[in-house]
């Protein structure tokens, strides 16, 4: 079955540091890939997505590239801010998935210190 594996957190960085959160997946076919962000006490918000190999999703300074050869979708940001502190979830949706549901990784908590 489909699965998503993320690096465990928490990840603690100083403001303006470079961020990488690793995400790898297992799926049949060509899934769509997503990063969601969850701020404390809130629901998930879509951060970025990519729907085919070599696509790069980007938003608010975050980027992730769909790498089919390594089945990865690592999240990066060049300079994090305190306001980026949140939990980040990598997810996929398989085209073979009749239910259209998302499969999530376990989440990575990011803490950015001033």
* Residues at the site binding other proteins, with contacts judged by CB under 8 A: 4, 32, 36, 41-46, 49, 51-52, 89, 95, 98-107
**Minimum CB–partner distance for residue 51 and other proteins (Å):** 4
Nearer to other proteins, 77 or 97 (CB): 97
Pick between residue 52 and residue 113 the one whose CB is nearest to other proteins.
Answer: 52
**Two tokens, residue 90:** 């990598």
Q: Residues 68, 30: contact at Cβ < 8 Å?
A: yes
Match 């594996």 to its residue by tokens: 5
Q: Quick one: 36 or 73, whose CB is closer to other proteins?
A: 36
From the CB of 14, what's the least distance to other proteins, in Å?
24
DSSP 3-state helix, strand, coil percentages of the chain (rounded to 5)? Answer: 5, 50, 45
Residues 6+ apart with CB under 8 A from 69: none
């Amino acid at each position: 079955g489909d699965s998503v594996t993320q690096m465990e957190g928490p990840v603690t960085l100083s403001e303006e540091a470079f961020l990488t959160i690793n995400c790898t997946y297992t799926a049949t076919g060509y899934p769509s890939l997503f990063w969601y962000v969850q701020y404390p006490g809130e629901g998930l918000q879509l951060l970025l997505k990519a729907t085919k190999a070599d696509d790069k999703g980007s938003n608010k300074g975050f980027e992730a590239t769909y790498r089919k050869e390594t089945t990865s979708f690592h999240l990066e940001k060049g300079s994090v801010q305190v306001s980026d502190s949140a939990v980040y979830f990598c997810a996929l949706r398989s085209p073979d998935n009749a239910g259209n549901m998302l499969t999530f990784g376990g989440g990575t908590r990011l803490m950015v210190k001033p």
